[in-house]
Amino acid sequence: MNNLISSVKTQAVEAFASAHSNFGWKVLLAGAVTVGDYLVGADNHSTMGMLAVLIGFDLCTAVMAAHKTGLVIESRKMLKTTVKLLVYAMMVSGAHLTESIVPGATFLDSTAISFLAITELISILENIGKMGYATPNKLLNKLSDFRDK
């Protein structure tokens, strides 16, 4: 077991050193960060990361609910998570760019992220209910009302 851990650690260090010394990867990463800062805003990186974690939680609870109810998990449905990440990123990017263009428009990107986070939380709570666990229906109803308004 120690040999396996040592081997994995050695391979990870070698891969990092190889990527670290490769100028092309550095340029590509710097370009991706620059484009991300422009499209989403530098101040929204952490909230976008948290939104991605919520999407991951939604995927995990959906898989567990499908397993619990005996539904077949299809790879086509798993692809929806990737599409959801891309669409959500475009929505937040659109809100950020609109906020940059329209004078006086503030908090559009924060509002979009908040709406998407509430939508994911509702989905997580629904999946937990499908698994047979008690979910606070009053909270679920309030979140749905808040999202719909």
Mind giving me the DSSP string for 43-99?
Answer: GGHHHHHHHHHHHHHHHHHHHHHHHHHTPPP-HHHHHHHHHHHHHHHHHHHHHHHHH
Q: Calculate the CA 106 to chain-centre distance.
A: 23
Are residues 73 and 34 part of one domain? no
Contact criterion met (CB below 8 Å) for 65 and 130: yes
In angstroms, the CA 1 to CA 141 distance is 49
| Mean of pLDDT over the chain | 84
Are residues 77 and 127 part of one domain? yes
Are residues 112 and 85 part of one domain? yes
In angstroms, the CA 7 to CA 33 distance is 31
Are residues 71 and 135 part of one domain? yes
Are residues 32 and 49 part of one domain? no
Are residues 27 and 49 part of one domain? no
Q: Which domain holds residue 119?
A: 42-148
Between residues 98 and 15, which one has the greater pLDDT? 98
Are residues 76 and 11 part of one domain? no
Are residues 98 and 28 part of one domain? no
Over residues 43-81, the pLDDT tens digits come to 787 888 899 999 999 999 998 998 888 888 777 777 888
For 17-135, strand residue ranges (E) read none
Structural domain count, the chain: 2
Task: Examine the pLDDT at 17 and tell me if it is beyond 80.
Answer: no
Are residues 112 and 57 part of one domain? yes
Task: Examine the pLDDT at 38 and tell me if it is beyond 70.
Answer: yes
Confidence of residue 116 (pLDDT cuts 50, 70, 90): very high
* pLDDT value of position 51: 92
Confidence of residue 120 (pLDDT cuts 50, 70, 90): very high
